[in-house]
Chains A and B, each alone.
Chain A
Amino acid sequence: MLKEIINLTLLQHTIRTATPLILAALGGLLTQHAGILNIGMEGMILMGAFFAIVGSYFFSSSLAGVLMAVGVGILVGLLFAYFVIDLKSDEFIIGIAINILAGGLTVFLLRSIFGVKGAFSSPDIVPLPRFRLGFLEGIPLLDTIFNNHTVFVYVSWILVALVYVYLYKTPYGIWLRASGEFPEALETAGVSPRKMKYISSIACGVFCGFAGAHLSLGYLTLFTENMSAQRGFIAMAAIIFGGAHPIRTLIAAFMFGFFDALGIRLQVVGIPSQFTQMIPYLGTIVVLFVVAKSYIRKIKKNVEGES
């Protein structure tokens, strides 16, 4: 039985399930550096997933689906930024409002556009293309794990590198980080922190749009109510776990993705789904607990070392 759980498919699934987490976490990480706690990621992913289906179904093109998802992501990002930055509303409340809005709006539109309840699926939805890296095909192990994923899997890895370079190697990234840590310093240096905060929020919308499109157009080509299933919050956990550093956050997202995949595998061997669906969340709690513990120990050690 163990063999059925822990095998190459598990790793392949990990890569697949980690992808929306990586994408959303990258977006949230940008707002985090700009000093905004964006818990609206959950809603942004959900809307991205829905509108990806809308675009793909009506235009018979997965690209149109992705563009729709990104477009809606930008709109929601702008909305969030306007409330939080210009109207100075509480970011927590606006985040929750976006999540509730996304939950209600997608259910409503699912009915009014497609006339269905719960889930929508159709052969007319064009899924995202799968990628095959030719040079891997000869190598059995790597072929199974790394090949035949949707384009976003590879895009997310490239984005990690790009976000890293952007944040730490370009002036714009430095401005973004300064806008979060000490906006007055940036403002007196002649750069508008407001602009940087807006950019981060919009980028977060785009990345969450990607994440949503990957969910609904990636492997299953369907939309179900509340499809995002708290992935926005798990992405948040990955950001916190990774200290908002792109590489460390990537590792964290993979770990949470692994728990997700493990849950799916356990279901295959016949463990009741009520239990298997708990796995990712349980894993998140355990990991965060362990990390917090070791963090506290480290601080204590540092303090003692000093005195």
Chain B
Amino acid sequence: MAEKLIELKEITKQFPGVLANDRVSLDIEKGEIHAIIGENGAGKSTLMKILYGLYQPTSGEIYFKGKPVSIKTPLDAIKLGIGMVHQHFMLVPSFTVAENIVLGVEPRKNRFMMDYRKAVSITEELSKTYGLKVDPNAKVESLSVGIQQRIEILKVLNKGADIIILDEPTAVLTPQETEELFKVIRKLVEELGKTVIIITHKLQEVLALSDRVSVMRQGRLVGTLKTKDATEQILAEMMVGREVLFEELNRIEVPREEVLTVKGIKARDNRGLMALKGVSFSLYSGEILGIAGVEGNGQSELVEVLTGLRQAEEGSVMIKGVEATNKEPMEIRNLGVSHIPEDRLATGLSKKATITENMILGYHNREPYATKGIHMNKKPIRERVSRLIKEFDVRTPSQDVTADKLSGGNMQKMVIAREFSFDSSILIVAQPTRGVDIGAIEFIHKEIIKKRNEGAAILLVSADLDEIFRLSDRIITIYEGEITGEFKRREISKKEIGLYMTGKRKGMRQGGVQDEEI
């Protein structure tokens, strides 16, 4: 049996109102890749932040190489050789790569002066040793997330880390970048004798990469098993606590008709830069059109233009033959467009309003819920909301509590219930399952497919490629504000689509497809 490097014993972390970790005991062996999986809010990140000294446990002990240790600050963790690559990169945007890598351990010319040239050479050397290419003098803010992650890993290695914790490292990566990362992780473990702990919720990655896997649920450790004994099914059930069915979604073919036509849309982002550089596509009833792309390539701006939240500078939007370019959100809504916004807390709902108020929004001025658009009628409103709560399985103690009392999944179900109940023929759905637990994901996916089967036209924007592939009939890829490709779902692999998402391949199969197929 391998040497036990770290042992966590009965770790409990109590936050006000939330028990984030409940008597978690876990050991990490030297030279292994140990995956920690669990749903959002299962306590994975909290546990690792305790190990890295960012949080203090309420009770419990940490043993390092058999001896009890107290890790009060990240500095203590660094001294023990523990490094952490955070989900949100800990890089100072205006600093150069070299400055970021040596942050906190700067090489010095003398007592006071930093030796920047040395920092550059340290960076170059690290880059060579670990085979991770970076430009030491580039400013971090100008680099892609994939590169930023490399810098994070190099930064951790520069501090002499032997145990590297990676928190959701693949969440923001394209399939190619993920593959690259896995190669690096394997190299670190197999050739350089490092130990890696990886937090994730993607089961396929766990199976492909790790030696052992620990599953967490609601703050508790459900169990640790050897990856070779695990299957996706077993792990999913451990995570959720009940049987999960990964069933194929049932599609019915319905007549298709062009309902949304977007032509040559150009728009700027909030910084005034061109975010959309002439985007054109059509959306048909009875289909789900997925937009695949690395976040920040114009998806958000596109959704905002389509829903009237952002002005387009050029181009046109036609909804069912009606000119709808740069119309007010309410006018667009009245043309039969519903919108699930990407950020439910910012634009999807009002946290301090009650469930009832949130769920009647958009209907509040219509008969019979309001008389002449002025006086709101309580009874029909309450009836409608309670029906929707039941229908969409929104778990809430009552319809009079404020929205911020609900979990992320239930908030999202509330927004979806409201938007889907409009009977709109066009649904613009952005990141529908972000931060939502597996049970709710299943439910939401089924609702989306149901709408499609009823003949609605659905535009789906998601950073989660699995989701795009599961739901879409047709997929278009977007890169730096331009459409780089268009595919039928079964025509392309995730790996191949990654090339279009990063602009490495372009336009090969664009156009023509829809005319032939639809």
A contacts, CB < 8 Å to B: 165, 169-172, 174-175, 177-178, 181-182, 184-192, 299-300, 303, 306-307
Q: Which residue of A lies closest to B73 (CB)?
A: A190
B contacts, CB < 8 Å to A: 52, 54, 73-75, 78, 84, 86, 88, 90-95, 99-100, 103-106, 108, 112-114, 116, 155, 159, 268, 272-274, 277
With A169-B114, A178-B92 already in contact, the answer to whether A185 and B273 are too (CB < 8 A) is: no
Residues of B contacting A189 with CB < 8 Å? 74, 90, 103-105, 155, 159
Whole-angstrom CA separation of A72 from B76 in the bound complex: 36
Give 14 new A-B contacts, CB below 8 A, not counting A177-B94, A182-B93, A188-B86. A165-B113, A169-B113, A170-B113, A174-B106, A175-B103, A178-B95, A185-B92, A186-B103, A188-B52, A189-B155, A191-B104, A303-B268, A303-B273, A307-B277
| A189 CB, min distance to chain B CBs, angstroms | 3
Give the A-B pair count, Cβ closer than 8 A. 79
| A299 CB, min distance to chain B CBs, angstroms | 6
Inter-subunit contact A174/B114 (CB<8 Å): yes
Residues of A contacting B272 with CB < 8 Å? 299-300, 303
Q: Which residue of B lies closest to A172 (CB)?
A: B112
Residues of B contacting A192 with CB < 8 Å? 73
With A170-B114, A307-B274 already in contact, the answer to whether A185 and B75 are too (CB < 8 A) is: no
| A307 CB, min distance to chain B CBs, angstroms | 4
Inter-subunit contact A190/B78 (CB<8 Å): yes
Inter-subunit contact A185/B90 (CB<8 Å): yes
Whole-angstrom CA separation of A171 from B73 in the bound complex: 20
| A293 CB, min distance to chain B CBs, angstroms | 16
| A304 CB, min distance to chain B CBs, angstroms | 10
Residues of B contacting A175 with CB < 8 Å? 103-104
With A188-B74, A189-B74, A307-B274 already in contact, the answer to whether A181 and B112 are too (CB < 8 A) is: no
In order of increasing CB-CB distance, the 4 nearest A-B pairs are A189-B104, A190-B75, A171-B106, A185-B90
Inter-subunit contact B99/A174 (CB<8 Å): yes
Whole-angstrom CA separation of A230 from B187 in the bound complex: 61
Q: Which residue of B lies closest to A179 (CB)?
A: B92
Q: Which residue of A lies closest to B108 (CB)?
A: A171
| A41 CB, min distance to chain B CBs, angstroms | 24
**B contacts with A: majority SS:** loop
Inter-subunit contact B92/A182 (CB<8 Å): yes
**A contacts with B: majority SS:** helix
Residues of B contacting A185 with CB < 8 Å? 90-92, 100, 103
Q: Which residue of A lies closest to B104 (CB)?
A: A189
| B69 CB, min distance to chain A CBs, angstroms | 16
Residues of B contacting A181 with CB < 8 Å? 92-95
Residues of A contacting B92 with CB < 8 Å? 177-178, 181-182, 185-186
Whole-angstrom CA separation of A184 from B93 in the bound complex: 12
| A106 CB, min distance to chain B CBs, angstroms | 37
Whole-angstrom CA separation of A175 from B92 in the bound complex: 10
Point out the residue from A170, A184, A306 that lies within 8 Å of B274, measured CB to CB: A306
Inter-subunit contact A190/B277 (CB<8 Å): no
Residues of B contacting A306 with CB < 8 Å? 273-274
- Among A177, A181, A185, A303: residue with most chain B CB under 10 A: A185
Inter-subunit contact A190/B74 (CB<8 Å): yes
Residues of B contacting A171 with CB < 8 Å? 106, 108, 114
| B136 CB, min distance to chain A CBs, angstroms | 15
| A97 CB, min distance to chain B CBs, angstroms | 29
Whole-angstrom CA separation of A185 from B277 in the bound complex: 34
| A137 CB, min distance to chain B CBs, angstroms | 35
Residues of A contacting B277 with CB < 8 Å? 307
Interchain Cβ contacts under 8 Å between A and B, 11 examples: A171-B106, A175-B103, A177-B94, A182-B90, A182-B93, A185-B100, A185-B103, A187-B74, A189-B104, A190-B75, A190-B105
Point out the residue from B95, B99, B104 that lies within 8 Å of A190, measured CB to CB: B104
| B256 CB, min distance to chain A CBs, angstroms | 35
Whole-angstrom CA separation of A177 from B92 in the bound complex: 9
| B155 CB, min distance to chain A CBs, angstroms | 8
Inter-subunit contact B112/A170 (CB<8 Å): yes
Q: Which residue of A lies closest to B107 (CB)?
A: A171
